[in-house]
Amino acid sequence: MTLVQLRYFVAAATNRSMTEASLDLHVAQSAVSTAIGQLERSLGVQLFVRQRSKGLALTDAGELLLRDARSLLAQTDEMVDTVRGRHHQVRGTLRLACFVTLAPFVLPKLISRVEQEHPDLRIEIIEADADTTTQLLLSGAVEGGIAYDFGRVHNLTFDPLFSAPPHVVLAADHPLAGRDAIHLAELAAQELVLLDLPASREYFLDLLAEAGVEPRIRYTSRSYETVRSLVARGHGYSILN
């Protein structure tokens, strides 16, 4: 068992894909596959179940190894920094999860600032939905996360960065476009294009319920840009942050 094998295993487990892991690690997919195969043989256990439609799923042995491998790699990174005598500087790797719809608006500016202020600090980004972001934080897979506060109770500490109130998205030629404020009840008879991500879905549907609106959902999408494009084409309205 080597540290390289463990890093490749953790990357594959986090991404649930050897292809995605190879992209994150900047190595060939065959290198990831070979390293994991060698790791499985050295341990005498199967770490993944390969599911054609769902990607990689961890076995019970894989789940146990993932927890310890993450801890070991974090300790190794810290030890290397200390031995190099650079522990007084901000350096190493910061693993950060970001809610997928926030990523295009937050990450470029954040990464530019970090690179300017802490050039020895490397950021690894995982884009995920709200539930996965929380799971990654609770499991220790990442050191920090950026997400909306949907009011769910978790053993986490939140520091507010900015406020992002919900807003109605309409096609440019919609009769209500251009208004400073719109009551959701005014859209009750119209069709909704729903951003269908865990937590987001419930959040937006709760907003409509509080306004006494039973949504007429025409389309759903997990993509922020797809929702906006459908609305722009006149296929309904949406609510986004």
Every domain of the chain and the residues it spans: 1-82, 89-163, 167-240
pLDDT of residue 118: 84
Is 62's pLDDT higher than 60?
yes
pLDDT of residue 162: 76
Give the pLDDT band of residue 134 (cuts 50, 70, 90).
confident
Which CATH number does the domain 167-240 belong to among 3.40.640.10, 3.40.190.10, 1.20.1090.10, 3.40.50.720?
Answer: 3.40.190.10
How much of the chain, in percent, has pLDDT values that exceed 90? 31
Q: Which fold has domain 89-163?
A: D-Maltodextrin-Binding Protein; domain 2 (3.40.190)
Structure tokens at 158: 């939140």
pLDDT of residue 16: 86
**CB–CB of 190/235 below 8 Å?**
no
Is 157's pLDDT higher than 80?
no
pLDDT of residue 186: 93
DSSP the chain: --HHHHHHHHHHHHHT-HHHHHHHHTS-HHHHHHHHHHHHHHHTS--EEEETTTEEEE-HHHHHHHHHHHHHHHHHHHHHHHHTT-TTS--EEEEEEEETTTHHHHHHHHHHHHHHH-TTEEEEEEEE-HHHHHHHHHHTS-SEEE--------S-----------EEE--TTSTTTT-S---GGGGTTSEEEEE--TTHHHHHHHHHHHTT---EEEEEES-HHHHHHHHHTTS-BEEE-
Is 101's pLDDT higher than 90?
no
What CA–CA distance (Å, rounded) separates 113 from 96?
A: 15
Residues whose CB falls within 8 Å of the CB of residue 179, separated by 6 or more in sequence, listed in order: none
- Range 1-82 classified under CATH 1.25.40.10: no
pLDDT in tens, 8-18: 999 998 888 88
State the average pLDDT over residues 66-79: 86
Among 23-27, 63-67, 69-73, 218-222, the minimum mean pLDDT is found in 23-27
pLDDT in tens, 29-56: 888 889 899 999 999 999 988 877 677 8
pLDDT of residue 2: 87
Of the candidates 82, 106, 105, 110, the one whose C-alpha atom is nearest the C-alpha of residue 94 is 110
Q: Give the pTM.
A: 0.51
pLDDT in tens, 104-125: 888 898 888 888 888 888 889 9
Is 172's pLDDT higher than 90?
yes
pLDDT in tens, 18-36: 888 888 888 888 888 898 9
Residues whose CB falls within 8 Å of the CB of residue 150, separated by 6 or more in sequence, listed in order: 130, 199, 200, 202, 203
1-82 matches 167-240 in fold: no
